[in-house]
């Protein structure tokens, strides 16, 4: 059960920790910036039902590409979990490629427990007139038809675009290839008013040139595709979002336990050029 929760980690981190470059005047239609962001993970709360005594780890998110060539994400989520006197190491490694123009999304996620591979999910999805078709590969070769859904980068662009327009609540259906790669998720997103920090603000010191820039407080709740949004969310993520796509001060609520993710460092990588 714990591994399943961890496999559903944040695609705004997860699912785009940092996406758009520039100042407050940058349009979301512009090229996305290549970057690498690292977060330190700490257990904030665990219920008695979770069986977790302590938990900590690190999350690494690397984003490269362009609107014309497509976007690549390398994502790694590593934790050490103490449960009943035993320590368990989990390691989720995800690679994705997203071509928004062509409506294509490729993904592969490998999940390890104590250095042993226990799940390898890979496939590709294509947007069609009525929804998306998912082709799962490897040991789970099969085709799955799902309702029309946004892909992760597309979701983040939409969040930023709506935030800039002053929208505070909206719903989106998302497919990110997580878990078994055969379902989409409902999401509800709440965006607060823009905040201009005064002095030290959480992990702002690690944000470099963004430390004193305005951000939006955002919360995204994810609901299981089968139960829908009328049930309790599978998990919920809160974070501070800059208009250039960088996020920090993450809180990941999985119900039985809550993790915080503080920005440790962020590096902007070499851009691949414009699409002109």
What are the sequence ranges of the domains in the chain? Answer: 2-91+148-268
- Residue 147's pLDDT band (cuts 50, 70, 90): very high
The pLDDT score that the predictor gives to residue 227 is 56
Q: Which of 46, 117, 119, 116 is nearest to 84 (CA)?
A: 46
Task: Please give the Cα distance from 174 to 147 (Å, whole number).
Answer: 10
- The answer to which of 17-31, 143-157, 207-221 has the lowest mean pLDDT is 17-31
The yes-or-no verdict on residue 244 having pLDDT over 50 is yes
State whether residue 270 is helix, strand or coil: coil
The pLDDT score that the predictor gives to residue 275 is 65
Task: Please give the Cα distance from 63 to 31 (Å, whole number).
Answer: 12
Asked whether the beta carbons of 3 and 170 are under 8 A apart, the reply is: no
The pLDDT score that the predictor gives to residue 210 is 79
DSSP 8-state symbol, 20: B
Distances (CA, A) of 201 to 150, 196, 207: 32, 10, 10
Q: Which of 250, 204, 233, 240 is nearest to 42 (CA)?
A: 250
* CA torsion, ordered 226, 230, 235, 237, to nearest 10 deg: 130
Distances (CA, A) of 249 to 42, 154, 212, 233, 260: 12, 22, 14, 21, 7
The yes-or-no verdict on residue 123 having pLDDT over 80 is yes
The pLDDT score that the predictor gives to residue 193 is 96
Longest CA–CA span in the chain (Å) reads 58
Q: Which of 87, 74, 60 is nearest to 2 (CA)?
A: 87
- Residue 273's pLDDT band (cuts 50, 70, 90): low
Q: Mean pLDDT over residues 74-90, rounded?
A: 94
Q: Mean pLDDT over residues 16-38, rounded?
A: 48
Task: Please give the Cα distance from 145 to 133 (Å, whole number).
Answer: 5
- Residue 141's pLDDT band (cuts 50, 70, 90): confident
The yes-or-no verdict on residue 15 having pLDDT over 50 is no
Q: What confidence tens digit (pLDDT) does each residue in 172-229 have? A: 999 999 888 899 999 999 999 999 988 778 888 888 877 888 999 999 999 986 655 5
- The answer to which of 25-34, 222-231, 266-275 has the lowest mean pLDDT is 25-34
Strand 54-66 relative to strand 215-224, pairing: unpaired
The pLDDT score that the predictor gives to residue 225 is 67
Distances (CA, A) of 120 to 96, 124, 134, 201, 250: 14, 14, 16, 39, 27
The yes-or-no verdict on residue 157 having pLDDT over 50 is yes
The residue to which tokens 């979990």 are assigned? 81
- The answer to which of 67-71, 104-108, 230-234 has the lowest mean pLDDT is 230-234
**E strand or H helix at 160:** helix 152-164
């Amino acid at each position: 059960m714990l591994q399943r929760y961890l496999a559903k980690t944040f695609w705004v981190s997860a699912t785009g920790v940092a996406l758009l470059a520039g100042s407050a005047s940058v349009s979301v239609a512009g090229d996305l910036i290549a970057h690498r962001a690292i977060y330190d993970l700490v257990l904030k709360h665990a219920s008695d039902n979770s069986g977790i005594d302590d938990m900590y780890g690190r999350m690494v998110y690397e984003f490269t590409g362009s609107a014309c060539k497509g976007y690549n994400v390398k994502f790694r989520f590593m934790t050490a979990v103490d449960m009943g006197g035993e320590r368990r190491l989990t390691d989720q490694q995800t690679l994705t490629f997203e071509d928004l123009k062509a409506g294509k999304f490729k993904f592969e996620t490998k999940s390890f427990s104590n250095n042993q591979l226990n799940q390898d999910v890979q496939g590709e999805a294509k947007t069609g007139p009525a929804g998306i078709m998912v082709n799962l590969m490897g040991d789970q070769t099969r085709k799955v038809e799902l309702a029309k859904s946004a892909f992760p980068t597309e979701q983040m662009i939409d969040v930023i675009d709506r935030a800039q327009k002053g929208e505070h609540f909206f719903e989106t259906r998302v497919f990110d290839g997580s878990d078994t790669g055969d379902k989409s998720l409902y999401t509800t997103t709440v965006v607060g008013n823009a905040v201009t920090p005064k002095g030290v603000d959480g992990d702002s010191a690690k944000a470099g040139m963004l430390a004193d820039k305005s951000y939006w407080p955002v919360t995204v709740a994810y609901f299981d595709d089968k139960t829908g949004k009328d049930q309790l969310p599978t998990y919920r993520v809160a974070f501070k979002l800059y208009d250039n796509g960088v996020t920090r001060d993450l809180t990941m609520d999985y119900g039985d336990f809550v993790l915080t993710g503080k920005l440790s460092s962020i590096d902007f990588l070499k851009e691949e050029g414009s699409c002109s």
